[in-house]
Amino acid sequence: MIKWILLASFVALHSTNVNAEIYKCTIDGVESYSQDPCADDAQLITVTPPAKLHSDKYTLSMDELLEQCTAVLKRSATFKDPDSVQVLSYKPDWVSDKSGVRRVLMMEINAKNGYGGYNGGEFFPCYLNHSGTKLSDHQFLINK
């Protein structure tokens, strides 16, 4: 599983290239991937990204994603006063569980506690589809 995560990370980091060259090697019985030949028996793997990952028809702007994620958090999280929710910061990210890697919008949320005061920022994940263009239908880690 880890090799696919590494391969996906490598492809994502080098997605500006038209073609990415990756070498597959077996070192001490363990498959490894590298941008340079990592052993004498290295096999060249050529990865060509698709021309377009998604249709603009289903793409949300970051503002729309943030608005929808905030609405989901207000409904699903256990805030004492959901109307007091403030988004302090956010960033697209990746998280993983036993089912694999998932795209998220990590949101730093500040909300009132039971005494009416703000607690300070706490991070909450909002799960997105794989391309990060809309909310996932599953707003939780599948296998904790």
- Give per-residue pLDDT as tens, 64-91: 888 989 898 888 888 888 888 889 999 9
Q: What percent of the chain has pLDDT over 90?
A: 3
Handedness of CA 127, 130, 133, 138 (dihedral sign): negative
pLDDT at 55 over 60: no
Judge contact between 35 and 54, C-beta under 8 A. Answer: no
Which pLDDT value is given to residue 41?
79
Q: Which pTM value belongs to this model?
A: 0.54
- Compute the mean pLDDT over every residue in the chain, rounded to the nearest whole number: 77
Which of these, 75, 86, 69, 78, lies nearest to 133 by C-alpha position?
69
